[in-house]
Amino acid sequence: MKKLTRTLAAVLTASVVFALLFVVLVLPPRAVRLDSSAWRDVAARTVSGAYHVHTSRSDGSGDKDHVAAAAARAGLQFVILTDHGDATRPPDPPVYLHGVLCIDAVEISTDGGHYVAIDMPAAPYPLGGAPAAVVEDVSRLGGFGIAAHPDSPKASLQWRDATAPIDGIEWLSADTEWRNESRRALTRAALGYFLRPGPALATLLNRPATLNRWDAMVRTRRVVALAAHDAHGGIGRTAEDGSRRFVADMPTYEATFRTFAIRVAMDRAWAGDAATDALALLTSIRAGRVFTTIDALAAPGLLEFHAETARGRIEMGSAVPAGTAARLVARVLAPPGAQVLIVDDSLLRRRGGLSALGASRRVGQDGTQELQTQLGAGEGAFRVEVNVPSAPGTPPVPWLLSNPIYFLPAPISRVEGAVSEAGEAIDPATWRVERDSGSSAALIAGPPPVLGYTLQAGERRSQFVAVAAPISRKAFGAIRLRLRADRPMRVSVQLRRPDGQRWRESIYVDATVRDLIIPVARLAAVGERSEPIESTQVESLLLAIDLVNAVPGSSGQLTIERVVLVS
């Protein structure tokens, strides 16, 4: 009996010691609850949500209803769904489910990484191919495009185009963050996950390398930063690239949503009507009136950031001309011990890492901190960053990140018609049709010649049609094209060497006659090779329509008004 008691006592002691060790060594602290009662008006106008979420429509585990229910449990007010696709599916209209506003968007795969398009109607042809072409298409269709997971350790997922005029960027991506963690950190997060899922997932966050890239971009143009959940909902599902999650049934949508949120500053509280509220939300996101908070550390974070200028009040996300005098005002509801900074992104003032601007600080009775700084002549971008001592990562992830107020140089106006006409026009009589064996194409001799085509219907099997003209291996620096088509389409302008190697650039064509000039240097090699092009070695020029931006069975007419090799 005594022996049994002793054994029991030993087991109990061991359990208590284990539990204590677990709490001390593994369990991440609970999120700090912030009291926003003194700042009710701002709290009512600030909506919290998840951006970049996959449902069972692509590779997520749950349907829209399941995702909305998880978002509601996590305290979110909206979710932006971004299932993989080519943008030809018309997006579902906005809808409230479980009190959560669900907005349908699409994540497009390009040759240079993933690009999310929100607030865009269905595309007339599949979007894909060169990243710059997809950025151009999303912009023409009126969408808002966001470079997805730009620093993913998976090369196939990274957004690699540094020059395309993207509208937004994912400064933080949960899908990137867990990939660069050690096995030990992942194990620890997995153990802590069962008691405090949100805070456990947050332990995997670091200050992302993307922040530096974004800081470099915003010195000269507006780029809206968003934090991306890239949530797939666990349950044995695959991650972004088809590989397994580190533990099959985690993280759930709800756990991911409890890690961080994007918070959008609206003009007024929501009306309760899905279409009206979605329009207001997307307008604010486009305007850059959005910030990120790591809710697993402290919530709800609130921010008001504006500039006072002679022209009036400028909100976060907006731009004024460089040289404008302004007073920057940032007010934040943050946890105790938080360091609130107004960060100056301009090149000259930057010394090494973060360059915080000197600012006068006032801490209010209600727990808010207010920072003010006077700029004689603003230049570049200024944003708010709040760091807290409990932040995970090396270097630690910021607890709050705003979008900037910009002081930008006037855009350089394009000089039209300044390009030399000198060159050699391609003789319309020399165009010849090329196609795969199943597709049909005919050239109706002009002037101007018209290519009528139908790609073979059914399975995808590298269907293509093209017109090709011989080139007598002369030096030229650009191709000038005047084309039109009976419907919106993308034409691949290609140069081919006698050994079959091709270089290409994709252009948009529709019923409007457009003059386009493509510098030869801009053409990219097709396939693995990346050698530069030599115009003197080229034997033919092709205008091709293929499955990059067309579906099997599609047809059309391309009118070739004029093609000139500009020397």
Where on the chain is the footprint of Zn ion (CB under 5 A)?
A: 107, 114, 148, 230, 240
Closer CB to Zn ion, residue 70 or residue 148?
148
What angle (nearest 5°) sits at the alpha carbon of residue 338, between those of residues 332 and 343?
65
Longest CA–CA separation in the chain, Å: 107
Closer CB to Zn ion, residue 107 or residue 379?
107
Q: Smallest distance, Å, CB 105 to Zn ion?
A: 11
- Quick count: other Cβ atoms within 10 Å of Cβ 318? 17
Instruction: Give the whole-angstrom CA distance, residue 278 versus residue 97.
Output: 13
Take residue 540 and report the two structure tokens written for it.
């033919």
Q: Smallest distance, Å, CB 140 to Zn ion?
A: 22
Closer CB to Zn ion, residue 114 or residue 306?
114
Instruction: Give the whole-angstrom CA distance, residue 101 versus residue 272.
Output: 9
Q: Smallest distance, Å, CB 109 to Zn ion?
A: 8
Name 227's bridge partners. 172
Q: Smallest distance, Å, CB 175 to Zn ion?
A: 7
Q: Smallest distance, Å, CB 170 to Zn ion?
A: 9
What angle (nearest 5°) sits at the alpha carbon of residue 146, between those of residues 144 and 151?
175
Closer CB to Zn ion, residue 151 or residue 230?
230
C-alpha R_g of the chain:
28
Q: Smallest distance, Å, CB 506 to Zn ion?
A: 21
Beta carbons of 428 and 448 less than 8 angstroms apart: yes
Q: Smallest distance, Å, CB 538 to Zn ion?
A: 36
Q: Which residues contact 492 (CB under 8 A, 6 or more apart)?
A: 504, 505, 506, 542, 543, 544, 545, 546, 548
Closer CB to Zn ion, residue 104 or residue 240?
240
Beta carbons of 245 and 230 less than 8 angstroms apart: no
Instruction: Give the whole-angstrom CA distance, residue 406 versus residue 567.
Output: 40
Q: Smallest distance, Å, CB 58 to Zn ion?
A: 8
- Helix runs in 194-311, H state only: 197-202, 210-217, 253-257, 274-286
Closer CB to Zn ion, residue 242 or residue 352?
242
**Which residue is listed with tokens 């601007």?**
357
Closer CB to Zn ion, residue 256 or residue 387?
256
Going across the sheet that includes 524-525, the strands are: 432-435, 464-470, 540-546, 489-496, 502-509, 524-525
77 HSE (CA, 13 A, CB side): 21
SS3 112: coil
Residue nearest to Zn ion (CB): 114
Closer CB to Zn ion, residue 245 or residue 289?
245
Closer CB to Zn ion, residue 181 or residue 230?
230
Amino acid at 296: A
Q: Smallest distance, Å, CB 85 to Zn ion?
A: 11
Q: Smallest distance, Å, CB 52 to Zn ion?
A: 6
Amino acid at 289: R
Closer CB to Zn ion, residue 110 or residue 403?
110
- Quick count: other Cβ atoms within 10 Å of Cβ 105? 24
Q: Smallest distance, Å, CB 40 to Zn ion?
A: 35
**Which residue is listed with tokens 């912030």?**
34
Closer CB to Zn ion, residue 148 or residue 294?
148
Instruction: Give the whole-angstrom CA distance, residue 176 versus residue 191.
Output: 20
